[in-house]
Structure 1
């Protein structure tokens, strides 16, 4: 009987992860090419992005100076908002020239619009603060929760997807883009 439960759990896990790969548009990295990490060390206050240390979220940094965060809603506790709100800020490479500089202090960022949840870029002329305290997600790794997946690759690649909305972004020097 135990083996039946194990097989059932494996089947559910495989089915749960397959929509992410199907939702990714052409040019999005192959999520299966990245090694998954345990999300537990990445859970904490998403303080860099929402200024509310009481919110529990997933947050990580990269060795290239980007920090990403989203609200953590496990599959068993779906968000009342229905989306995780993945955001990244920092030394984001390849932002399209059409994105205006909003001036003032701060970093570049990519974030979802509140109502549509479409991702947009934002640029500021100031310097980025050092991101201390966020666990590093290394090149070749991915972090998956019930509501989001992000990968970090070589050459400043960061890509994230919200599978429930089929929306996300790719950050890379050759041209960052949203979908």
Structure 2
């Protein structure tokens, strides 16, 4: 006599486990939208697909569209300038909103990086001190920064995509950049800025 066991109960358990895992993963990485309030989206990675693409070639600081070694934009209020270098890393300098109090001071011998040619502005930069896992880090200082009036503005609700770097500007002072190959980046906002 042959006994048959039903695969349905095992499949049902596996489906419930898979759904539970998916819910827990997506719950930890909430994507925010351009119109979402700051209180609703603290420590959430923006949903870059909701931003309107801008032509990165129009943001070449030397006025040579198509070359694109360095792409720069300023935030709508003109207080922060961000740079995309070779489409491989991003940085922002200026009035970095929500900078953590724990951010170390700027060090000229360690933190000179493309995009920070304005001197010792506070910023968020690509930190390669751990060559196995380069990420982003904040740096602060006591000095001020010049206004970035010469840099083209990326409007709220827009994004720049240059190779593996995507940067977006949202409402309420949001600026965010991510390296899509490494999934490292930063989010700058009034309610608190952070790196990932």
Matches within 5 A, 1:96-175: 96-102=100-106, 106-114=120-128, 115=131, 116-175=133-192
Residue 66 (structure 1) aligned with residue 83 (structure 2): no
Farther off after superposition, 58-67 or 167-176: 58-67
1:147–1:163: 8 Å Cα contact kept in structure 2?
A: yes
Partners of 1:135 and 1:172 in 2: CA distance? 20
1:37–1:142: 8 Å Cα contact kept in structure 2?
A: yes
**RMSD of aligned alpha carbons:** 2.5
Question: 98, 120, 127: which one pairs with 1:94?
Answer: 98
Normalising by the residue count of structure 1, what TM-score does the alignment of the two structures yield? 0.70
What CA deviation, in whole Å up to 9, does each residue of 1:7-58 have, x standing for no partner?
A: xxxxxxxxxxxxxxx9x9441011122111111111235xxxxxxxx98211
Partners of 1:62 and 1:159 in 2: CA distance? 11
Q: Which runs of 5+ in 2 are unaligned?
A: 1-25, 31-43, 109-118
Partners of 2:46 and 2:158 in 1: CA distance? 12
Distance 1:122-1:44 versus aligned 2 partners, 3 A rule: same
2:59–2:152: 8 Å Cα contact kept in structure 1?
A: yes
Matches within 5 A, 1:41-52: 41-45=58-62
Pairs aligned (count): 139
Residue 16 of structure 1 corresponds to none
What CA deviation, in whole Å up to 9, does each residue of 1:79-136 have, x standing for no partner?
A: xxxxx12110011111111113459973210001123421000001111111132110
Q: SS state of the match for residue 93, structure 2? A: strand
Q: Which runs of 5+ in 1 are unaligned?
A: 1-21, 46-53, 74-83
Normalising by the residue count of structure 2, what TM-score does the alignment of the two structures yield? 0.64
